[in-house]
Amino acid sequence: MTARRSGPLWAGLAAALLLVACGEKPQTLGPRKGDQPAYTGPATAFTAPGWIPGNEASWSAELRTRAERGQNEYTRIQPR
């Protein structure tokens, strides 16, 4: 092939590669697990100390403590 004829061939090949690269695989969920309350989660190494899995009162207390101490910027800053 000559350079004139192969130009559109390369352009078509490049366009096809770009379109293939932009493709997205379908994102399907696995089988649905039963809806459970958040406080029934598993006890792992990352579980906050003081929280007992399955105990709604300790879950609420941990959320309250986290909101007051860890995520409230007004309580974290030192006044001048």
pLDDT digits (tens, 9 = 90+) for 1-10: 565 677 788 8
- Encoding tokens for residue 78? 């030192």
What is the pLDDT averaged over residues 10-27?
A: 79
pTM as predicted = 0.46
Cα 60 to Cα 19: distance, rounded to the nearest angstrom: 50
